[in-house]
Structure formats: structure tokens, C-alpha cells
Amino acid sequence: MKPTNFPENGISRRALIAGGLGLGPLIVPRRVLGGAGYRAPSDKITIGFIGTGEHGVGTNIGGFLKPENAIDAQLVAVCDVDTTHVEQAKARIEKAYAAEMASGSYKGVATYSDLRQLIARKDIDAVCISTPDHWHIISSIMAARAGKDVFTEKPLTLTIEEGRTICDVIKKTNRVFQTGSEQRARPQFHQMCQLIRNGRIGKLKHIEVGLPGGHSVRQPTWDPRPAMEFCEPPKNLDYDFWLGQAPKTPYFPGRCHWNFRWILDYSGGQFTDYAHHLIDIAQWAHGTEDTLPIEVEGKGTFPKEGLYNTATAFDCNYLFADGVTMRVSSSDASHRFEGTDGWIVNKGWGTLSASNPEILKSEIGPNEIHLYHPVSEHRDFLDCVRSRKKCYAHEGVGHRAVAFAHMGNIAMLLGRKLKYDPDTDRFADSDANKMPMYSRPQREPWTLANALKS
């Protein structure tokens, strides 16, 4: 497959601009032709956005429009099954490109309601996927198989099977993949992980990870009708498309957009939502990003009534092959790393303390382990699209971070200790491999099998 920034006739966008199409001399701004501090549009990474709700616009469109990223990225298309979201995203991008639109160097944002149309465009180099969780992997597979590099929001997967599948697809297609997560860019987390990896608390023995619990339910502002009453979907929402692989169910306002997180058909609640943020950091510090635990057990509270059925409380214990243990529980966001020579604690999002304050003052020597410290998730993705290197939160990292939550949910629901093989991504217990967090039926046509044939 040819790179997507080269058309089939072999004439690049750069050549068309340079040649002027035989129209004679043109006077254009430096930001169009390139030069110091600028890249010409023909040399920018063109990005389309699938899923343009709150996070898609505020975090990802906003992130790629930041000056340090806009120099390399050109945002050209948006897609959502909610036309209100599409229009908001289009307006946000075109406002940022107002000067370019006035000069004629930027033609505006193309809008779509069907992700297949956006993915089919040969002039789009990369896609950013900010859909609800149950759409992440189907969309990612289709985009990667179409030759796009892919930035997909966390939690990356709905099931362990999806995680295994996306790792295989990215390897076969040789695409660049980023799981959206800003936590490794936090200097405090980077410092904490380097200290632990370099033995400042001795040999690591135990990890405690705290994640938020409960259900952070929002009153739907997108549909003012009673949240839990069945009704016809609003005209701006293609509800059947929104459901995708999930079972066909009646619409009511409290089901969609933000609140999908609390429904097991679409997500895994706070456990999966925060796994990539905080369990991933524990993996980074432990140096086990390329593997998973060999054992899990836990207890949790799953609501017995009502629509919102993800765990509101959880307490899971994991065992790694090297003997390190980890407990993940619903509490405040936090980490505690215990070693043979001391401990390091993080409270919230980067407030560090240690058994000896001198630990946090320790410098990492030139011959010690130096972990990569990205500027941001968006900058890292753009750099890797150009270099073809692995992103800091690549598909394997994203798969394994949320797999902890899938493993925990399965153990809590079955109510017993489970053995796990990280090499095959399978439980020794056959019942565990039949749980919906491991693999589940998918509604046609939005299945893994169909995506792999796209």
C-alpha cells in the first residue's frame, strides 16, 4: 500500500503546489509555502476525527491545534453520529484556521456521519478516535487496515480479545498507534517511575493503586427529556449507529454520551476509565509494560437494579511472575510503591512523598535507566508518525493497561481466584474466557471479523 500522502498518479501534493498547475506566479503567505517555523500544508500530517463529543473536541482537536502541534498537523475532517457534535467540531477547527480560510489556503472542514466515508479518503494520513469505548477497536482496525496511523482514546478496549486483536493488526499493517493518555507526560510521574526503576526504594515488592469509584452520572443536557424514560431518539442522533456492536436496546436520554461509561454493554465504569491513567503508571514504574499478571482475585459491588451496572466499588489483588503483588481498589487516585529499602507515594495527580525525603532529591546518573519523557500525547504521536517509531502509549501498552480492569471485573463477577497466561492472553479457567469482558457477541455488521475484512 502506498503512503496516503502520495496519490495514485504519483504526483504529490507538494509537487502540485510547487508547479503551480501552470497558472503562473502566485503570491502566497509563508505559512502556505513553509520556511522557518512553518511547514507547508503539503508537508503536514492530515488528520480526521471520529467522535467529536466533549473529549474529542476539547482534548484532542484542541490538543492538535496547539501551536507546538499545529506546525505539523492539519485538521481536515470530522465525523460523529450526532450532527450537533459534528457542527461544534467543524466550528472549532474553522475558527482556528480563519486566516488560512480567508487566504484560500485552507478549504474548510469536511463533515461525515459515517466513519467509513472519512476512513476511505486517501488524502487523510491519520485518524483520531474519541468515540464511546465500544467503538474504539472496530474503528481503529478499519482505519489501520486503510493505511491510516491511529490515535485512539482510552480505555482502549471493551474486551481482552479486542486488545489482542488490535496488537496483531498494528503489527501486520505497520501503522503508528497511540493510546490517548497524558499521564506519562506529567513530570512527577516520570520522576517517580525513574526512581523506582533505578532502585531508590530497593527491590520493588508491592504496589497499591487507588482509582475513583462510584458512578459519576450527569444529567443529560443533550436531551432535556427525563433521563430514564424511554422515548424516540432525537433527530440529531443516529442512535442505531451509536449502538454499533452493542445489543439493540430502546433509547432514553440517560444512556448515551457521557453516561455510557456506567453501562457494561459499552464500557467498564471507573475501573476501566482510570486504568490507563493510573495502572499504566504502575506498570511503567514496575517495568512490566510488555506483560500482565499471572493471577487475580477480587471483590466488588455491581448494582443489581437499574441501567447503570458497572462496579461502584472494587478491590482486586494481582500477582506478577516476578513475585511483585499489586492491589487496585476504589478510593482516591493514588499510588504507593513499597520496596525493600523504603516507599514512594503519589496522592492525586502528582503529589509525591517518600519514606526518606532524600529519595525524591536523588539524581538519575548518566549510566542509569532514563525513561522517555514526552511533551504531550499529541506531540508524541506526530513525532512518531514522522519517525515511524513506537509511541509512548502504543497499542500493547493500551491493551495491557485496561486488561487489568477486565481481569478484575471477571474475577469479581466469578467470585474466585483466577490464573492467567500473559503470553496467550487466556485464563486457565474456561468460564473466565467466556465472560463478556474477555469476549462477547457483537451485533452485525460491527464485528471484529468484519473489521478484519474491511
pLDDT tens sequence across 155-188 = 999 999 999 999 999 999 999 999 998 899 999 9
The grid coordinates of residue 364 equal 538519575
Q: Are 73 and 61 in contact (CB under 8 A)?
A: no
Q: Are 418 and 319 in contact (CB under 8 A)?
A: no
Q: Which CATH superfamily is domain 13-183 in?
A: NAD(P)-binding Rossmann-like Domain (3.40.50.720)
Q: Are 134 and 265 in contact (CB under 8 A)?
A: yes
Give me the pLDDT at residue 24, please. Answer: 35
- What is the layout of strands, in order, in the sheet containing 110-112? 110-112, 73-79, 45-50, 126-129, 149-153, 177-180
The CA–CA distances, whole Å, from 286 to 194, 197, 323, 454 equal 10, 7, 12, 38
Q: How far apart, in whole angstroms, are the C-alpha atoms of residue 407 and residue 423?
A: 15
Class of domain 185-371+395-441: alpha beta
Q: Of 352, 349, 375, whose CA–CA distance to 362 is shortest?
A: 352
Q: Of 443, 400, 405, whose CA–CA distance to 163 is shortest?
A: 400
13-183 against 185-371+395-441: fold identical = no
Which sign does the torsion angle of CA 163, 167, 172, 177 carry?
Answer: positive
For residue 155, list its beta bridge partners: none
Q: Are 328 and 279 in contact (CB under 8 A)?
A: yes
The grid coordinates of residue 11 equal 504526483
Dihedral through CA 186, CA 396, CA 454, CA 426, nearest 10?
Answer: -140
User: What is the value of pTM for the model shown?
Assistant: 0.90
Phi, psi at 49, each rounded to 5°:
-115, 125
Give me the pLDDT at residue 181, please. Answer: 87
Q: How far from chain centre, in Å, is Cα 167?
A: 14
Give me the pLDDT at residue 39, please. Answer: 60
In the chain, what are the domain boundaries? 13-183, 185-371+395-441
Q: Of 262, 254, 194, 261, whose CA–CA distance to 225 is shortest?
A: 254
How does DSSP classify residue 44?
S
Q: How far apart, in whole angstroms, are the C-alpha atoms of residue 174 and residue 118?
A: 20
Give percent helix, percent strand, percent coil of the chain, each to the nearest 5. 40, 20, 45
All residue ranges of the chain with pLDDT < 70 are 1-41
Q: What is the CA radius of gyration of the chain?
A: 23
Give me the pLDDT at residue 454, please. Answer: 87
Greatest CA separation for the chain: 75
Give me the pLDDT at residue 265, please. Answer: 98
Q: 327 Cβ partners below 8 Å, 6+ apart? A: 206, 207, 208, 209, 315, 316, 317, 318
Give me the pLDDT at residue 23, please. Answer: 35
For 257, the 3-state DSSP assignment is helix
Q: Which segments of 335-390 does DSSP mark as H helices, in order? A: 357-361, 377-387
